[in-house]
């Protein structure tokens, strides 16, 4: 089984300064044909840089570290654990425009479970980087498999890509679906069918109110 080794947070002393990043935004504004010194744009470079800190915060997060704390007191629970409809916001590495969708993450525990918020944080850690959806799907699944070593891992992502909907071919309403199945989800068709049925069954919504 090929495993993608998770990347660690980047430490780069040659990283451009905030001032250099803001200057680059001003250059783009001028290239687009506008005046970066006019009232409406004068603070835009600093706003863009701050937004990029949010968009690409995943480079500063170690996804493996997020999963290191696990729990063994499960009373023998060994069925599917599924976190469904995780909001996903990423950016296409080819055009730097948004990828918006949802991720479904499941695993079959083997003695250990992890806090469910950690699964969502792993999704976010990889999504908050420049990505292609295929790689993003594999990174999430492989990291969970590597750290938890469960009997199976499954990740399904459904997302719309603005590089396709707002430019180029201009096809709004198109959704890309990718999946990565490991262990029992890959090898056992009945387990895979059970999972896909759980993902598709949205007839009842639990709000927690």
**Strand 81-92, strand 130-131: pairing:** parallel
Q: Rounded to an integer, what distance in angstroms lies between the CA atom of residue 125 and that of residue 18?
A: 22
The set of catalytic residues is 92-95, 133, 161, 163
Report in angstroms the alpha-carbon separations of 83 from 40, 156, 167, 185, 191.
42, 11, 32, 15, 16
Round to whole Å and give the CA distance between 53 and 41. Answer: 19
H or E stretch including 190? helix 189-200
Q: Which residues pair with 30 in a beta bridge?
A: none
- C-alpha dihedral sign at 70, 72, 74, 80: positive
As a whole number of angstroms, the distance between CA 72 and CA 93 comes to 39
Task: Please tell me the distance from the alpha carbon of residue 130 to that of residue 81, in angstroms, as a whole number.
Answer: 28
């Amino acid at each position: 089984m090929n495993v993608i080794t998770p990347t660690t947070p980047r430490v780069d002393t040659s990283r451009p300064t905030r001032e250099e990043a803001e200057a680059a935004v001003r250059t783009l504004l001028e290239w687009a044909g506008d005046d970066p010194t006019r009232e409406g744009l004068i603070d835009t470079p600093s706003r863009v840089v701050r937004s990029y800190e949010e968009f690409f915060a995943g480079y500063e997060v170690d996804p493996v570290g997020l999963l290191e704390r696990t729990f063994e007191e499960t009373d023998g629970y060994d069925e599917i654990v599924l976190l469904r409809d995780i909001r996903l916001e990423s950016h296409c590495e080819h055009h730097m425009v948004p990828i918006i969708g949802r991720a479904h993450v499941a695993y079959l525990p083997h003695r250990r479970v992890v806090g469910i918020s950690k699964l969502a944080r792993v999704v976010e850690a990889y999504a908050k980087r420049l990505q292609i959806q295929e790689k993003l799907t594999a990174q999430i699944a492989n990291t969970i498999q590597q750290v938890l070593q469960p009997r199976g891992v499954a990740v399904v992502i459904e997302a719309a890509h603005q590089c396709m909907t707002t430019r180029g071919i201009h096809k709004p309403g198109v959704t890309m679906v990718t999946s990565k199945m490991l262990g029992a989800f890959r090898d056992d068709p009945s387990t895979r069918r059970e999972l896909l049925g759980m993902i598709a069954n949205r007839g009842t919504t639990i709000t927690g109110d």
